[in-house]
Structure 1
């Protein structure tokens, strides 16, 4: 049994090697963003003396978890190794056997976890099981990065609804649409690539009926030379104005309406426009993340209902003057944004801000849980 076996160490002073290996696990998890729902994206690295001997990530629901792929690659080298996992290993039987059991059976000696799983079926139980089996367990390495990756999953398992982000582009004078079609692109190629990468990593994308009637968008992902997938379209069409032959009504599409309109068989219909009910229904469909696009009307409704979690604003270095569609978010009061980050994307500026924090299982809760176990 290694030194300090059986202890849960919180916010350890991790070595540069530990940090590098967890960063690699996070990069592995990122390869499946938007593809694992209703599960979270998870990466795992098995290492011996600071060198990776096995790597894996969870590719999609129903397939093995990250730990299993990493252990398969490590083989017998896993005995006595350290496992770096971006999310606490599961301890229950779901579609796949518990990953905690696989780590124990493989003889892993030390486990480093980025973030604790908020799922009530896990939420510390995986850590407890591994600790009871004699593993040294350390928690919290690169936790903030892991929380960002897992934000949608964490939101859905705690609240029952997906995490909602509103993305929009505007000129310096606050306009969202040009007068002339030839001026359609407000932003440059780097910003447009960012938007399509965002779609590639998001479960569902929502617009209002006016956006569909005006543009007939496909709401697909277009990234040249990359393996991409399309988010599920969600169309908010209260009175059933959108024609059923619109491009968005592809297999897997969702329409939110109060009308009795008949839609194609492959379209899932939610016949309520109560946003809380709509999001709960999307959560039941396994949707972890929802991206709002289009004009400000739909986003204003989410804001007023307290259901908008993040903002992504692309600001173009252009002045439109008397252009159409000024940006008017209809708010009942001043909204406080937090964790504001600014990034340059070619000629454009990206501002990312949170309205609601990412769900987490706090370290004090785990500390109390540990003390209870050790009594």
Structure 2
């Protein structure tokens, strides 16, 4: 039996839950009997059936004696749904092939042990790296209760995010702009600084033609400068909107709240509002992942605070020249060896643009 082949199919299924299961993990499952797939399923929506139970429900034949391939270790605790280990045991499945172990302390190897205690053969680590990569957001959130942050920006080949006059529409091609909305669907939150709201008056929603979820809009606004007539405020009763501020002006705060905005009070540090404390508070709100679409100032503060996990750079084959803005500003560094280093994980071509995906390597951990 080709374990990797069936696990690849389970990974494909898991991805179908993107944007709908947070803060739960993406999970796919395939049930095979006599080398024939008899059932498939994935975790489709938060609070609903898990992948294993969906696969069992969808079986065209009895799963008794079959093998189930699941991208993540089956859960063994009662949450919004019963444990998947119970469903596997009750349906007589004889073999379980697991991609990645669950880092959730409520599971973390216990699911595998329960299955083995019931005489079920369990194989772990099949396409483990691919299965783990499915849930980078979940893994950080479940262990640290902080959002996984992806910094995204579009720039020219000479590193500009705008012209000398501040104009940026459009640097990248239409295909790249659509990919940004795919990212907005993947992550629960989208964060910008108040300067972006003032300059561009963006909606910050997801505009895909396919079923999708709109992200929670997070505005970093130290002194409550977000215009009350801005799109984000005027549509706050439709799209969840958070204003993170250090202001204690009760009259102004109440005006935003009346529009439907949620106010999150955050103390200040030398960079503005304390982004690490903000991440803790957003984690408490259940936001497990954030797309950071900030300008150079907010991007610099986020990197200095060590809250950024990934950087997605959309690079267009254009040159602006001049003194246009760059993706990260601030005081900069004196020596090249002081740079924040990135590990490139993928480079892809989107239309005429390049998308470079990288993980951030900090020289020391943030306390």
Corresponding position: 1:256 with 2:232: no
1:51 equivalent to 2:33? Answer: no
3-state SS, counterpart of residue 270 of structure 1: strand
Question: What is the SS of the residue equivalent to 1:177?
Answer: coil
Matched, 1:81 2:75: no
Is the 2:164–2:324 contact (alpha carbons within 8 Å) kept by the matching residues of 1? yes
Change (3 A) 1:310 1:19: same
Structure 2: how far apart are the matches of 1:335 and 1:181?
26
Q: Is 1:246 matched with 2:230?
A: yes
Cα distance change of structure 1 residues 86 and 109 upon mapping to structure 2, 3 Å threshold = same
Per the alignment, residue 318 of structure 1 pairs with 318
Is 1:235 the counterpart of 2:219 in the alignment? yes
Shift of 1:336: 2.0
- Once the two structures are TM-superposed, the CA of residue 59 in structure 1 deviates from its matched residue by 1.7
TM-score in terms of structure 1 length: 0.86
Structure 1: runs of 5+ lacking an equivalent? 1-14, 358-375
Query: Does the Cα contact within 8 Å between 1:32 and 1:41 map onto a contact in 2?
Result: yes
- 1:200-220: CA deviation from partner (whole Å, max 9, x where unpaired): 111111000000000010011
In structure 2, distance between residues paired with 1:79 and 1:319: 62
In structure 2, stretches of 5+ residues that fail to align are 267-272, 363-367
**CA distance, structure 2, for counterparts of residue 184 and residue 339 of structure 1:** 27
CA deviation string 1:128-170 (max 9, x = no partner): 1011111111111122222222111100011110100100011
Given that 1:244 and 1:264 are in contact with CA atoms closer than 8 Å, whether structure 2 keeps it comes out as: no
Measure, in 2, the Cα distance between the counterparts of 1:206 and 1:297.
13
**1:154 maps to what in 2?**
139
**Partners of 1:177 and 1:323 within 8 A in 2:** no
Distance in 2 separating the partners of 1:267 and 1:243: 12
Superposed, 1:217-232 pairs within 5 Å as 217-224=202-209, 226-232=210-216
State the partner residue of 1:278: 278
Deviation at 1:288, TM superposition (A): 1.5
Secondary structure at the counterpart of residue 62 of structure 2: helix
* Partner secondary structure for residue 340 of structure 1: strand
Pick closer, same or farther for the CA change 1:33–1:107 going to 2, 3 Å. Answer: same
Rounded Cα–Cα distance in structure 2 between residues aligned with 1:20 and 1:244: 54
Instruction: Give, in angstroms, the shift of residue 75 of structure 1.
Output: 6.2
**What's the Cα RMSD here?**
1.9
Specify whether residues 329 and 148 from structure 1 end up closer, same or farther in structure 2 by C-alpha distance, changes over 3 A only.
Answer: farther
- Compute the displacement of 1:323 (Å): 5.6
> Contact 1:18 / 1:50 at 8 angstroms: preserved in 2?
no
SS of equivalent residue, structure 2 residue 58 = helix
Please list every run of at least 4 consecutive aligned residues from structure 1 whose deviation after the TM superposition is greater than 4 angstroms: 179-183
- How many Å apart are 1:93 and its aligned residue? 0.7
Matching of residues 285-296 of structure 1 within 5 Å: 285-296=285-296
TM-score (norm 2): 0.88
Alignment of 1:17-96 (within 5 A): 17-74=2-59, 77-96=62-81
**Shift in Å at residue 244 of structure 1?**
2.8
| Distance apart, 1:328 and its partner CA | 3.5
Q: What SS does the corresponding residue of 1:355 show, helix, strand or coil?
A: strand
